Amino acid sequence: MTTQLEIFKGALEHRHSHYGLRPEWVAPRQTVEELLGGVLQTVPSAFNSQPVRMVLLTGDAHASHWKLVENALISLMGQEAYEANTAPKIRQAFASGIATVLFFDVPSVTEGLQASFPTYAANFPIWAQQVQGSHQHAVWMGLDMLGFGASLQHYIGMVDADIKALAGVDASWVLTAQMPFGAPVAEVAGKEKLPVSETLIVK
């Protein structure tokens, strides 16, 4: 009989970065929306501050987002270098998916906590980033368990204002990551990890 720990470990081991996606809903869009809402409602945050916001881009919005990123990269790299080095991944692994989850941080939440609890002021930005990572991993695990392939990307700091305008969010929000997803083209092998004997200490 499979134990709960084995099920959990199996789910963790199955999640990988997928760099080949097809534009298919392998689970209904409504189910993905429920997943995102569930993550936002259940993943903990420091002082229950809840500084994470998500935007699910589908259809034209998904395509427009990656076109914004592509155009920004072409401006930075030049067309020839972009086509040679980066275009395949943008077009086959990100834009080729069915949708993208954008992750945002609301800085006013952290600023309010710093003002209310000055003793911990230096820690709140660190905790805010930890909360982002917790949400991102939970979404990634959920998408994988629904049958999607996904990856976590950080094409930020180039056209963030345009991306926020496309997403229809407050200009003060900070884009932290993108998670394109879709039907996986192929299974992905796991990466080599350090032995647990080097990374886990038990006293």
Report yes or no on 15 lying in a domain: no
Average pLDDT over residues 150-172: 97
Residue 36: partners with Cβ closer than 8 Å, 6 or more residues away = 54, 56, 101, 139
**pLDDT tens for each residue of 97-126:** 999 999 999 999 999 999 999 999 999 999
Q: Which of 86, 96, 95, 66 is nearest to 166 (CA)?
A: 66
How large is the average pLDDT for residues 155-166? 97
Within a domain: residue 16?
no
In a domain, 149, yes or no: yes
Q: Is 192 contained in some domain? A: no
Q: pLDDT by residue (tens digit) across 69-81?
A: 999 999 999 999 9
Distance CA 110, CA 149 (A): 32
Say if 100 falls within a structural domain.
Answer: yes
In-domain check, residue 197: no
Quick one: DSSP state of residue 192? P
Asked if residue 200 belongs to a domain, the reply is: no
Give the pTM: 0.95
| pLDDT at residue 159, rounded to an integer | 97
- How far is it, in rounded angstroms, from Cα 157 to Cα 9? 35
Average pLDDT over residues 50-65: 98
Residues 16 and 129: their CA atoms lie apart, in Å, by: 21
Range of the domain at 158: 25-184
Beta carbons within 10 angstroms of residue 19's beta carbon: 18
Q: How many domains, the chain?
A: 1
Quote the pLDDT of residue 190: 83
CATH number reported for the structural domain that contains residue 126 in this entry = 3.40.109.10
Cα–Cα distance, 143 to 140 (Å, whole number):
5
With respect to residue 133, please indicate whether it lies within any of the assigned structural domains: yes
